Amino acid sequence: MAITEEQRERSRQYKETAPASVCVCGHTGDGARSQHLNSGPQEAIWGAGHGACIVPSCSCLKFRWDRFRIPYTEFLGVK
């Protein structure tokens, strides 16, 4: 199923204010207030947003996608 231009724009708008995805460690990524680094040496290896978790008690060194957050899927209308 291809994403529409309207969904793409809504996704961009949402990610400017909230995180959209969840890592297997339970912390968020992909958007504002992401709990994983979005730049640095990890980005060169894994891509933007796939860096180490910045939550002090977490040892996650790479964002490993688990799922999209429910508010994000509801916002896009794909739930």
Which sequence spans correspond to the domains of the chain? 5-76
Give residue 60's pLDDT: 86
Give the DSSP letter of residue 36: B
Q: Binning pLDDT at 50, 70 and 90, where does residue 72 land? A: confident
pLDDT at position 40 over 60 = no
0.85 exceeded by the pTM?
no
- Please tell me the total number of residues recorded for the chain in this structure: 79
Separation of alpha carbons 41 and 38, rounded Å:
10
pLDDT at position 59 over 90 = no
Reduced to 3 states (helix: H, G, I; strand: E, B; else coil), residue 51 is coil
Helix (H) or strand (E) run with residue 64 in it: none
Please compute the mean of the pLDDT values over residues 18-44 and round it to a whole number. Answer: 82
Please compute the mean of the pLDDT values over residues 20-40 and round it to a whole number. Answer: 86
Give 40: exposed, middle or buried? Use CB within 10 Å, 0-12, 13-18, 19+. Answer: exposed
